[in-house]
Structure 1
Amino acid sequence: MTAPPKMTPMLRQYLEIKEDYPNEILFYRMGDFYEMFFEDAEVASKILGITLTSRNNKADTARIPMCGVPYHAAQNYLAKLVKAGERVAICEQTEDPSQAKGIVRREVIRVVTPGVTTDDQILEDNENCYVCALSRSSGESTPQWGFSFLDLSTGEFLAGEESDGALVPEQIIDHLTRMRPAELLVNEGQQDELAKLIEAATLHLPQLCITPRSADLFHVKEANHDLVDHFKVINLDGFGCGSMRQGIVAAGVLLDYARETQKSDIGHIEKLIPLNRDSVLLIDDASRRNLELTRTIIGNSREGSLLSVLDKTRTPMGGRLLQNYLLQP
């Protein structure tokens, strides 16, 4: 029978922190390195192409897999993991080791995901990096669907909803393929109901990261209160979103997610913009692809598309605006 691994104070602290972040790869700061252990180390070593070692002696039967990356080069490795669809929790030393009594205190200071990041090495200069939340009402003959998009790097925050019966799933897919979010938040209590839509979304967007969120977050009253409190307003009517019940739910879920992952001020998110299909020319996904508006059919490359020919903008902001004009004229 294999003996359990020896639990040092450091490993106990690691496991206590990891318990709060079961779905993330934990970057655990130790001196000049971020270390990863157990399954995190096995997954990360394959993606990053680094050596998987063990913290134990070779004679130990219960070996603990581990790997690490240098602190000064962490951004390069972080970008590889996130682009591979992984979520990474950054755990830093929060006290001076020379002043610590016992094990150095550590805390997760930020969670980086495919859709929630501000790192330059992950972001594309001329493209938005959206995270999307999807909400669907329950117990109604004609369900209301809400959706919201957030680009954390720019603070752009959009919300909308659809209720056109059987056409709604197609309309939601149209929004997703046009906005191309890197991550989609869904109600974990509705995953079975949303299975077909999620399957269609990942078929169109193979790199889309699906993140289930607690069903307790998908309530209009709490979401509305959170948004009103964040924007320091009496209601959301001034943004043109006051009547969007499910759109408000989706936006509230996104705001909560941004706050949870960043663990810092998100005051640069200053307004909520209604996303209304009636205000733009609708170009379906097949037409966008065949016209090669922003991506080529062969290679899915920006270079060679209509956007690359027209783009004479001088700033990343201008490039993103031009792309939005092409997709939503």
Structure 2
Amino acid sequence: MQKETPMMRQYHRLKRKHSDCILLFRLGDFYEMFENDAAEASSILNIALTKRNNVPMCGFPYHAADNYIAKLIQQGKKIAICEQQEDPQLAKGIVKRDVVEVISPGMITDPNLLQNKSNNCIAALYGSIQKGRPILACAALDVSTGEFLSSLIQEGDILDTLQNEFEDNGIREVIYPESYEEQDSLFSFLQSVRSLRSDLVLRKVSDSLFDPLGAEEILKRQFSLAHVGILELEAEIQIVACGALLCYVKESLKRELSHVRWVRQRRSERILFIDNATKKHLELTENQQDGSQQATLLWVLDKTQTAMGGRLLKKLIHNPYSDIRVIRNRLEKVEYFFTNPSVMGKVRGFLTGILDIERILSRLAVGKGNARDLVGIKTSLQKVRDMRSELDEVDALKEELDSIGDFGEVIEDLEKGIVQDPPLSTREGGMIRQAYSAQLDEYRKLTRENRNWIVRYQRQQQRQLGIPSLKVRYNKIIGYYIEVTKPNIHLVPPEYMRKQTLV
């Protein structure tokens, strides 16, 4: 039997911790996959499956990772991204590596993988069978917007209600306690849930995530609460489902979720329940021909100018209000805009320039944003401020305008701090304006002076030694050094120490 290499021991240690994932193992400029992961991924990605030391493997360049990860996610796969934690040139022995993020269909923040006007949620199911019927709590979290919902399902057709939850909230992935598969009634129910949608991903997770006391503590920490009763959730199983879901997402993303500010209870008495059969027959958001939005009610009505407005309209069509006071209030607003087209035109003009603030803030919160996102926040808030100022005298919109905050300080800070056209990657630097931070300006000055000193020193050495081609260079192993070509070696003084010879 062939001896396992140190690198493969490291790989297997990480793989055991993420056995339900395809592990992308960083090796230099490539992500490599091994064994069963390699066989599965090579088929999905249509890349060559090779062998080294009789171990199946495949891979792709790290700079092309987004495209390959997108294809794996579209097939419902869960991806663990393992990065090098130190410079390979400085490492003593095997390079330290660790999983820095787990991505799955329900935890996407990359705008290239999301539909602008649709939510993308991960959910947790928790409950029990009572008198032969399941009573369920469903917690749903859209990581890309921070929206967090909880519902209690105990009446009517449980499966139909659950399907409504999935469709209304854009739920793509569901977690549940692994012990449910050992209980015949719950396992049978899970099989029925699995059949609701062909693209729905169900994952069993450790029962320890669904610990009632642990769930309470997670919710209290997340929302800075003395007691979870403040959340006004109807049943304890909702608290457990919400806590388990938050814990699972935090552990997967390896980050706190500061943009998740509250959990909202979905209350059925405030909305008109429409069963799935009726939704399909009425073709509210999907047509019966090919399942697209073409020729649906949403397709006809959706003239929204922002992605946020598009998502809200879709929710309102799925869940229309049943409160007559809310309905009348909204009809009055519609009537006002209909009879005042000039005001409507102004509002639509302002909204056109507003980016998807919800998703930008969420990307920033989970460490995926960049300086261009900050510029997008600034320009969007400027549009909001200008709209509020322009429409300040419109009495019919007073309630809505008064609910908009004053973002003057935020806009001013972003204007002072971020350059107008920053680089796409934060690693490139150059995104903070001069004079915004005295300390940063000092660091920049030192950097410039160091570079200028090195240039002056290189010219001095060229003149002193009579070697015009002499270069002062740097690498992480040697540090700064002088490079001369072989024909000029005889001109180098004996007191200069030779560090390396290039053949």
TM-score (norm 1): 0.91
Aligned to 2:123: 132
Q: How far does residue 5 in structure 1 lie from its aligned partner after superposition? A: 4.4
Q: Does 1:39 align with 2:36?
A: yes
Q: Deviations over 1:87-125 (max 9, x none)?
A: 000000111112211111001000001111212222111
Aligned to 2:217: 225
Q: Distance in 2 between matches of 1:268 and 1:282?
A: 30
Q: How far does residue 219 in structure 1 lie from its aligned partner after superposition? A: 2.9
Contact residue 282 and residue 328 of structure 1 kept, 8 A: yes
Q: Distance in 2 between matches of 1:275 and 1:246?
A: 15
More deviation in 116-125 or 90-99? 116-125
More deviation in 136-145 or 31-40? 136-145
Contact residue 149 and residue 158 of structure 1 kept, 8 A: yes
Aligned to 2:318: 327
Q: Does 1:122 align with 2:100?
A: no
Unaligned runs of 5+ in 2: 321-503
User: Any idea what SS the aligned residue of 1:186 has?
Assistant: strand
User: Any idea what SS the aligned residue of 1:190 has?
Assistant: helix
Contact residue 160 and residue 244 of structure 1 kept, 8 A: no
Q: Does 1:267 align with 2:270?
A: no
The structure with the greater share of residues assigned to helix is 2
Q: Determine which of 23, 28, 33 is the counterpart of 1:26.
A: 23
Aligned to 1:59: none
Aligned to 1:11: 8
Q: Deviations over 1:37-95 (max 9, x none)?
A: 00000000001111111123xxxxxx111000111110111011011011000000111
Contact residue 173 and residue 200 of structure 1 kept, 8 A: no
Q: How far does residue 7 in structure 1 lie from its aligned partner after superposition? A: 1.7
Q: Distance in 1 between matches of 2:268 and 2:130?
A: 26
Q: How far does residue 268 in structure 1 lie from its aligned partner after superposition? A: 0.6
Name the count of aligned residue pairs.
Answer: 318
Q: Does 1:208 align with 2:200?
A: yes
Contact residue 41 and residue 52 of structure 1 kept, 8 A: yes
Q: Distance in 2 between matches of 1:195 and 1:296?
A: 32
Q: Distance in 1 between matches of 2:137 and 2:35?
A: 39
Contact residue 289 and residue 295 of structure 1 kept, 8 A: yes
Contact residue 173 and residue 201 of structure 2 kept, 8 A: yes
Aligned to 2:162: 172
Contact residue 183 and residue 209 of structure 1 kept, 8 A: yes
Aligned to 2:333: none
Q: How far does residue 180 in structure 1 lie from its aligned partner after superposition? A: 3.7
Q: What root-mean-square deviation, in Å, do the aligned CA atoms of Structure 1 and Structure 2 show?
A: 1.8
More deviation in 288-297 or 34-43? 288-297
Q: Distance in 1 between matches of 2:277 and 2:79?
A: 34
Aligned to 2:226: 234
Aligned to 1:53: 50
Q: Deviations over 1:224-273 (max 9, x none)?
A: 221011111112343322x4211111111110111111001211111010
Q: Distance in 1 between matches of 2:174 and 2:297?
A: 27
Q: Distance in 1 between matches of 2:208 and 2:4?
A: 35
Q: Distance in 1 between matches of 2:294 and 2:73?
A: 23
Cα distance change, pair 142–245 in 1 and its aligned pair in 2 (3 A): farther
Cα distance change, pair 255–112 in 1 and its aligned pair in 2 (3 A): same
Percentage of identical aligned residues: 39
Q: Distance in 2 between matches of 1:326 and 1:67?
A: 46
2:220 counterpart letter in structure 1: V
What are the residue-to-residue correspondences of 1:294-305 with 2, within 5 Å? 294-305=285-296
Cα distance change, pair 307–141 in 1 and its aligned pair in 2 (3 A): closer
More deviation in 247-256 or 312-321? 312-321
Contact residue 180 and residue 205 of structure 1 kept, 8 A: no
TM-score (norm 2): 0.60
Q: Distance in 1 between matches of 2:276 and 2:135?
A: 23
**Which one scores higher on RCO, CA 8 angstroms, separation ≥ 6?**
1
Q: How far does residue 167 in structure 1 lie from its aligned partner after superposition? A: 4.0
User: Any idea what SS the aligned residue of 1:193 has?
Assistant: helix
Q: How far does residue 217 in structure 1 lie from its aligned partner after superposition? A: 2.1
Q: Distance in 1 between matches of 2:194 and 2:297?
A: 25
Q: Does 1:154 align with 2:145?
A: yes
